[in-house]
Copies of this chain bind each other. A is one copy, B any other.
Amino acid sequence: MLSVIAIQDDIAAGRSTPAAEIARSLDRIAELDAAIGAFETLADRDTAIAAAGSASGPLAGVSVGIKDIFDTADLPTTYGTPLYEGYRPRTDAAVVSMIRQAGASIVGKTVTTEFAFLNPSRTRNPLDPAHTPGGSSSGSAAAVAAGMVAAATGTQTGGSVIRPAAYCGVSGYKPSFRLVPAVGAKAFSWSLDTVGFFAASAADVARFASCVTRRPLDVEEPASPLRIGLYKSRIWNEANADMHLALARTAQIATDAGAEFVEIDEPDTLAAGRDCHSTIQNYEVGLAMADDFLRFGDRMSKILRETIASGRAIPPADYDKARATARRARKAATALFQAVDVVLTPSATGAAPAGLASTGSPVFNKVWTLTGNPCVNVTGLSNSAGMPIGVQVVARFGADRTALSAAHWLERVIREA
C-alpha cells in the first residue's frame, strides 16, 4: 500500500517528488483497476502530473480517491447511479476543497454504491476478487488496499467507512460527527451522514486527516497504559467465530503489551439507540431524497426504493421519539468513557463475505454513527484464509486523536506480537 507518511518523508528527503508519486499512483491504477473496478472516473494523467509538479502544502504528492458521492466541479459526479450521468456540480464539496488546499492530488472518483446505500457496486475486494470490498465506500477502500492511492474519502450513514476498511484491510476513520463538513456530499440522512477517510494505517489516516482539517490529529504514544473496554453489545452473537477469535487475540496482545482490559456490558440506552437508527435514517432519506424518489424511483434499485418508501410512511411522531432515543444514546456513549479511553468492538460480523451480491452487514457500526463517536478500523488481523478481520476502536465524542492513537498502538502491538 502507499503510505501518506512515507510519501511525505520521501519527498522531504529528496528521494521522490510530488509528480513522481502521482505518476506512480496513476500507473498502478492503469495496471490494476481493470480487475478491481475501484474507479468511476480518472483525472487526466498529464494534467494531474503537471499540477502535482507545482503543488504546495503538506499533502503534495499524496494521491487521493474521492468517493463519487462528493461533488467535484472538474470530474463528473454520478452518486453511483445512471440517474446522475452527466451531472456536473459547479463547485467541489467542502472536503474536496480542503484536500486540494492541503496540496494533495485528486486522481479520480471512486465507485460508490447507488446513492451510498446498500445496492452493491461492481468493485471487487483486492485481497480476493471473489469477495465484496464492502460498501458503500467500496472503491475508496479497495483503491487504498490495492495501493492505487495513498488516501481516499468515504461517507458513513450506517457502516460505510468502517466496514469496507475492515473487509479490505485498510485503516478507516469515521471522525466525530461534523468534524469534517458533509457539504457537497449527496444527502441521505442529515443526522447520520458522516465524512471519513481511508489510508494504509492509523498513523497514515491520522496524518492525512490532520493535514486536511488543520487539526492536531497525528497519532501519539499513550502517556499511561491504555484502558480498553471490550464492548459486549447485545448483538455480540452476530459476529462469527473469526471475529470472536480476533477480538480475543487483540485483547491478549494488548494485555501482554500493558493495556488494561475490561469488559463492558452494553447500556440499555445504547442498545435502544442502535434500534432507532433505521427509523431516523429512513425518515430522513424519505425527505432528503423525496424528489429523487418521485422523479426517478422506478429506476432505483428495489432496496433503495423500498427504503425511501418506508421512510415516507414513518409518522413524524415516531421520528421525534427516535431522535429523543438518539439523544439519550449520545449521553450514554459519553458516559462509557469515564472508565476507559476507548472501547473495542467488531468492525463487521467477520471477514468480507464471498460474492458481490451483498456489501455485508453494518450492524456493528450503526450505533456509533448515530452517537457520532469517532471510530477507527484497526488493521493487522486476519482469518485462516488470509482475509482481513477488522476490529474498531471507539473514543469519546471529540476525542478523535485518542481513537486514532489507540488504533495506532494496537496496530503496532499486533504487528510485533
Residues of A within 8 A of B (CB): 73, 83-84, 87, 90-94, 96-98, 101, 178, 181-184, 187, 190-191, 213-215, 284, 287-288, 290-292, 294-295, 315-316, 320, 398
6 intermolecular pairs with C-beta atoms under 8 Å apart: A73-B291, A84-B90, A94-B288, A94-B290, A181-B287, A213-B316
Contacts of A287 in B (CB 8 A): 94, 97-98, 181, 183
Q: Is the CB of B288 within 8 A of A91?
A: no
Contacts of A191 in B (CB 8 A): 178
- Give the distance to chain B from A32, nearest Cβ to Cβ, in Å: 30
Contacts of A83 in B (CB 8 A): 90
> What separation, in Å, do the CA atoms of A213 and B316 have in the docked complex?
8
> What separation, in Å, do the CA atoms of A276 and B213 have in the docked complex?
21
Contacts of A90 in B (CB 8 A): 83-84, 87
Give the one of A73, A183, A320 with max B CB within 10 A. A183
Contacts of A94 in B (CB 8 A): 287-288, 290-291
Q: Is the CB of A290 within 8 A of B98?
A: yes
Contacts of A290 in B (CB 8 A): 94, 97-98, 101
> What separation, in Å, do the CA atoms of A83 and B73 have in the docked complex?
14
- Give the distance to chain B from A36, nearest Cβ to Cβ, in Å: 29
> What separation, in Å, do the CA atoms of A213 and B181 have in the docked complex?
26
Residue of B nearest to A182 (CB): B190
Q: Is the CB of A316 within 8 A of B215?
A: yes
Given A94-B288, A214-B316, 9 more A-B residue pairs with CB atoms under 8 Å apart are: A73-B295, A84-B90, A91-B292, A91-B295, A93-B291, A94-B291, A97-B290, A181-B284, A183-B190
Give the one of A288, A291, A292, A295 with max B CB within 10 A. A291
> What separation, in Å, do the CA atoms of A91 and B288 have in the docked complex?
10
- Give the distance to chain B from A211, nearest Cβ to Cβ, in Å: 13
- Give the distance to chain B from A346, nearest Cβ to Cβ, in Å: 31
> What separation, in Å, do the CA atoms of A316 and B179 have in the docked complex?
10
> What separation, in Å, do the CA atoms of A363 and B90 have in the docked complex?
33
Q: Is the CB of A291 within 8 A of B91?
A: yes
Q: Is the CB of A97 within 8 A of B181?
A: no
Residue of B nearest to A288 (CB): B183
Q: Is the CB of B182 within 8 A of A96?
A: no
- Give the distance to chain B from A376, nearest Cβ to Cβ, in Å: 19
Contacts of A213 in B (CB 8 A): 316
Residue of B nearest to A294 (CB): B97
Contacts of A215 in B (CB 8 A): 316
